[in-house]
Amino acid sequence: MKLSKQGFSLIETIVAISIMLIGIVGLYALVPFYLKVVAVNKDRFVASQLAREGIEFVRNIRDSNLLAGNNWNDNLTGCVSGCQMDYNDDAGLSGYTGMSLRIDPSGFYKYEGGLITKYKRKITITSTDPNKELNVEVEIFGLMDSAVFKAVEIIYNWR
């Protein structure tokens, strides 16, 4: 009598299901890691833009001084220990208080009104030659991975 082999044995089926489960579980293990990487990258991107904006505030003050015929570094030399400013701040740079930035319904970051965010911006201005250049350092605190994002730039007296 000849036996014909049809289908899979129980061991072959268990092995095949085990291999598929290992692959599926591996994919699900990557999802939380991927979500964390996305959140950290978003955090760092926002921090980089907030730092860039801080440098632009200092440039704007310098340019406004020059256009008004004032000394190019007026209101820029008192930030050795840190200052803060936002885009709608007519008073210019003020002493750093560690206050968190807020985001308004339009998506702008500022210190007054809107929802409190985790970000804090500290602008520090030092000088090796106050007649020619200022070193601007902007630090952003409150990133998800507890890092501090830092941008540094030298601005010059272009007149």
Total-model pTM: 0.80
How many C-beta atoms lie closer than 10 Å to residue 50's C-beta? 22
d(CA 119, CA 142): 5
pLDDT in tens, the chain (159 residues): 566 667 668 888 898 899 999 989 888 888 888 898 898 899 999 999 999 999 999 999 999 899 999 998 888 888 888 898 887 777 778 888 889 999 999 989 988 888 999 999 999 999 878 788 999 999 999 887 777 899 999 999 877
| pLDDT tens digits, one per residue of 87-132 | 777 777 888 888 999 999 998 998 888 899 999 999 999 987 878 8
pLDDT of residue 47: 93
How many C-beta atoms lie closer than 10 Å to residue 22's C-beta? 10
Quote the Cα angle for 104-120-155, to 5°. 100
| Greatest extent of the chain over all pairs of C-alpha atoms, in Å | 110
